[in-house]
Amino acid sequence: MPSSSLYDAIAPFPERFNLASYYLDRNADEGRSDKVALLAGDERRTYGDVLARTRRVAAALRGAGVRPEERVLIVLPDGFAFAEAFFGILRAGAVFAMVNPLLKREDYAAYLEYTKARVVIGHAEVLPELGPAVASARLACELWVVGGEARGFAAFDDVLAAADGDGHAAEVEPTGPDDLAGWLFTSGSTGRPKACVHTHADFAWSTETYALQVVRYEESDVCLSVPKLFFGYATGTNLMFPFRVGATSVLFPGRSTADELFDQIAAHRPTLLTSVPTMIGNMLRSPRWDETDFSSLRVCLSAGEALPASLYSEWKERTGVEILDGIGSAEMFHIYISNRLDDVRVGSLGQIVPGYEASIVGPDGDELPDGEPGRLRVRGGSTALCYWGDKAKSRETFQGEWCTSADIFRRDEGYYFYEGRTDDLIKVSGIWTSPLEIENALLEHPSVAEVCVCGHAGEDELVKPYAFVVVSPGKDGSDVLADELKAWVKERLAPHKYPRWFEWRAALPKNDRGKIARKLLKEELAAR
């Protein structure tokens, strides 16, 4: 049984519980109908505006025959319509599924078959890829198009205009905390993304623990995110969590670049920035850094990939703004290990979030002592029910209340240190080696802007570290630099860990979460 304190982190949820009421309606009930909820460029929407549109979305979904616990697929860039669709789906008792609006036709076809969505809400800009997939889908009946010509499908605004936002069909479905609410897709690092099935209580649990007790969201916060809303990390930090306290979220539809972030910071003066290490590095290296005023920020969040200590230290020194590095997963919805505003252990991911427990286990499942690396197991009130349609993988990952990840950690005095994933470790000279350790050492060198280390077998068929490197502005990749970097690593790490090969790249591939796509680089090496 879990410890008595595990589920004491928050009060029990009521018998009737729906996230649309929890995140959105409560703001009207508490007198915030006229407060700005969303900012996008020069436009704004109040909580009252969002609620009114959300009521129409719910009514329209019911009118289209969507029943409770049926999936609705969201294929939208960040914008007002995303929030309206998201909360409208929940209000109707349906289940949201969110995917990247930059995918290809075959990807959309696969998601449509997997989700069995009757209704899809997509943007006009993705119609060349999404439209044919919907038209040929076996079960999809309707596509509601946001932001442009509908091209034979239904326009989102027309659908909502025809719906009765004041009638019975617009009311909140009387769901309970254990009813299904959303699918979160894994990153697909080991194959096609799998859907982690979550209940209404799962999302609220992370909100009450991580958002309120660790980050300490406040009504006065203005939130800005590098990751996009279809990614659960950002759905939490830049939509759900701000709405829980009546804060304001800044949305922009385009790609997240350093220049875009500088523009958004100047225009909207955010207090809370959700970021990823790659973007933190890009911003620090930008020629616009010195002209940007960061004084509005009170905290920066980092997750998605390991934050090198060198990046943390440089950011903190140059801005004075704390970075809370943490780790979460689609399986747990959000972050369950994190540094604290008043307690940051540089190089670590911090301590377990209230409402969660974690252990580090060996191959036999037995718990390991401090200092010894092993797989991380975690449990708490936000654990997914399963991977949809994958019973074998579900049994491997979910054991009762516990979720066993593929992440390798070590623990030291209650602080957790990330060592990589089980499928990323490199066996060098008979010793398992974390590529992250090598990457962090290389990133401390002033000539290295980005790096990804993979295992590669040389002519002797022995696996050694291979480094893909993006050099810093004004630097050139060369044999001289390679020799310098080898010596640099040897001075800092065990001798067998230095990269034997260096390959200079203008950029490293990224996945749709903004992480370096290690899988693609590993596949590229394997094909040589």
Give the domain CATH number at 344: 3.40.50.12780
Please tell me which of 1-15, 214-228, 294-308 the model is most confident about, judged by mean pLDDT: 214-228
CATH number of the domain within which 471 lies: 3.30.300.30
User: Which residue's structure tokens are 């997509």?
Assistant: 122
Percentage of the chain beyond pLDDT 90 is 81
> Is the pLDDT confidence value at 2 over 70?
no
Beta strands in 388-498 (DSSP E): 398-399, 402-412, 415-421, 426-428, 431-433, 448-457, 463-471
> Is the pLDDT confidence value at 29 over 60?
yes
- Which of 199, 228, 263 is where one domain is finished? 199
Measured at the CA of 92, the angle between CA 18 and CA 245, to 5 degrees, comes to: 40
User: Mind listing the pLDDT tens digit for each residue in 325-357?
Assistant: 999 999 999 999 999 999 999 999 999 999 999
Asked if residue 1 belongs to a domain, the reply is: no
Closest C-alpha to 19, from 181, 178, 169, 167: 181
pLDDT at 1: 37
CA distance 282 to 226: 12
pLDDT at 191: 55
pLDDT at 58: 98
pLDDT at 7: 81
Closest C-alpha to 195, from 288, 96, 287: 96
Residue 517 and residue 494 in one domain: yes
Closest C-alpha to 250, from 271, 233, 225, 282: 225
CA distance 192 to 203: 24
CA–chain centroid gap for 155, Å, is 29
Residue 517 and residue 399 in one domain: no
β-strand 322-328 against 299-302: which pairing, if any? Answer: parallel
User: Which residue's structure tokens are 């890829």?
Assistant: 129
CA distance 192 to 106: 12
Residue 414 and residue 441 in one domain: no
Residue 400 and residue 504 in one domain: no
Asked if residue 2 belongs to a domain, the reply is: no
> Is the pLDDT confidence value at 427 over 80?
no
Asked if residue 309 belongs to a domain, the reply is: yes
Residue 94 and residue 26 in one domain: yes
Average pLDDT over residues 207-235: 97
Q: Look at 84-93, 190-199, 378-387 and tell me which has the smallest mean pLDDT.
A: 190-199
Q: How many C-beta atoms surround the C-beta of residue 43 within 10 A?
A: 10
Residue 349 and residue 432 in one domain: no
CA distance 447 to 470: 9
pLDDT at 234: 97
Asked if residue 504 belongs to a domain, the reply is: yes
Residue 267 and residue 413 in one domain: yes
The structure tokens listed for 291 are 């002209």
Which has more pLDDT, 120 or 1?
Answer: 120
User: In the structure, what pLDDT confidence band is assigned to residue 4 with cuts at 50, 70 and 90?
Assistant: low
Asked if residue 4 belongs to a domain, the reply is: no
Asked if residue 7 belongs to a domain, the reply is: no
Average pLDDT over residues 245-271: 97
Average pLDDT over residues 499-518: 88
CA distance 46 to 306: 36
Quote the domain boundaries for residue 506. 426-526
- Which of 149, 170, 199 is where one domain is finished? 199
> Is the pLDDT confidence value at 189 over 60?
no
- What average pLDDT does the chain have? 93
CA distance 184 to 204: 15
Asked if residue 3 belongs to a domain, the reply is: no
pLDDT at 363: 86
The structure tokens listed for 302 are 């980092």
Domains: count for the chain: 3
Asked if residue 323 belongs to a domain, the reply is: yes
CATH number of the domain within which 171 lies: 3.40.50.980
The residue type at 315: W
User: Mind listing the pLDDT tens digit for each residue in 133-161?
Assistant: 999 999 999 999 999 999 999 999 999 99
Average pLDDT over residues 59-87: 98
Which has more pLDDT, 365 or 299?
Answer: 299
User: In the structure, what pLDDT confidence band is assigned to residue 3 with cuts at 50, 70 and 90?
Assistant: low
Residue 277 and residue 370 in one domain: yes
Which has more pLDDT, 119 or 187?
Answer: 119
β-strand 398-399 against 431-433: which pairing, if any? Answer: unpaired
Which has more pLDDT, 112 or 399?
Answer: 112
Which has more pLDDT, 206 or 459?
Answer: 206
Backbone angles phi, psi at 301, to 5 degrees: -100, 145
Residue 192 and residue 122 in one domain: yes
Residue 177 and residue 267 in one domain: no
The structure tokens listed for 54 are 């959300």
CA distance 75 to 99: 6
Average pLDDT over residues 398-409: 90
- Which of 421, 444, 472 is where one domain is finished? 421
User: Mind listing the pLDDT tens digit for each residue in 82-102?
Assistant: 999 999 999 999 999 999 999
Residue 165 and residue 75 in one domain: yes
Residue 178 and residue 221 in one domain: no
User: In the structure, what pLDDT confidence band is assigned to residue 493 with cuts at 50, 70 and 90?
Assistant: confident
